[in-house]
Amino acid sequence: MENISIRQFVNDDYDRAVTVWHQAGLAVRPGDDKPSIISTLERNPGLSLVACAGGEIVGTVIGTFDGRRGHLYHLGVLPAYRCHGIGRRLVAEVAERLAVLGCSRLNLSVRHDNVAAVKFYETLGFETTGLQMGKEI
Ligand SMILES: CC(C)(COP(=O)(O)OP(=O)(O)OC[C@H]1O[C@@H](n2cnc3c(N)ncnc32)[C@H](O)[C@@H]1OP(=O)(O)O)[C@@H](O)C(=O)NCCC(=O)NCCS
C-alpha cells in the first residue's frame, strides 16, 4: 500500500469527498449538500479529515463537537484501500483533536445491519449504547 497521509478536510475537497462517500457506500442525504458540509467544517474547525494516496482522497471523516460530546459522520474508505489501517487512523486523529478541546466522549451512529462497520468500531473500543431516535424538522 502506498504512503497514506492524513490532513484536514477543506472546502475544496467537497466534490471529491462526495464521490468517495458514494463509492464507500455511505448514504448522501439532503443535509450533505455543499453549503451544509462547509457550515459543519466552519463550526468545527480541524475536526474533519481526509486520507490521501498520491494526492487523491481515498478516505474521509467528519467530526463535530457540541461542547459536550464529539460525533463522527461519514467515515468512509474506498474499497481498494480498506484493511490497511486508514479508518483506524482517521478515527484516532479526530479523537485526539477532540480530546485537546476537552471532549471526553465520542459518539456515532451506524445502521444495525452494517455488520462490518459495527465490527470495525468494536475493534476500536466503541460499545453499543441505547437506541437512537430522530425526526426530520
Ligand atoms: C468501516 C471502514 C471505514 C473501515 O475502514 P478500514 O480502513 O478498512 O479499517 P482499518 O483497516 O483501519 O481497520 C481497523 C480494524 O477494524 C477491523 N475491521 C475493519 N473492517 C472490518 C470488517 N469489515 N470486518 C471486521 N473487522 C473489520 C480490522 O480488522 C482492523 O483491526 P486490526 O487493526 O486489529 O487488524 C470501511 O470498511 C468503510 O469505508 N466501510 C464503508 C462505509 C461505512 O460503513 N462507514 C461507517 C459508517 S457508520
Mean pLDDT score, 81-85? 98
CATH: 3.40.630.30, 3.40.50.970, 3.40.50.620, 3.40.50.300. Which one for 4-123? 3.40.630.30
Q: Is 19 helix (H, G, I), strand (E, B) or coil?
A: helix
CA–CA distance, 108 with 22 (Å, rounded to integer) = 19
Which amino acid belongs to residue 116?
A
d(CA 48, CA 127) in angstroms, rounded, equals 22
Whose alpha carbon is nearest atom 17 of ligand 1?
120
* pTM of the entire predicted model: 0.97
Model pLDDT, residue 2: 85
82 pocket-lining for ligand 1 (C-beta < 6 Å): yes
Residue-level pLDDT at 1: 78
On whether the CB atoms of residues 44 and 98 are closer than 8 A, the answer is no
For ligand 1, is residue 26 a contact (CB within 6 Å)? yes
Nearest CA to ligand 1 atom 10: 85
Query: How confident is the model over 92-134, as pLDDT tens digits?
Result: 999 999 999 999 999 999 998 999 999 999 999 999 998 889 8
Note the pLDDT tens digit of each residue in 31-80: 999 999 999 999 999 999 999 999 999 999 999 999 999 999 999 999 99
Write the Ramachandran bin of 103: left for phi over 0, alpha for psi from -120 to 50, otherwise beta: beta
Q: How far is CA 137 from CA 38, 107, 126, in A?
A: 20, 22, 29
pLDDT of residue 113: 93
Closest protein CA for atom 24 of ligand 1? 116
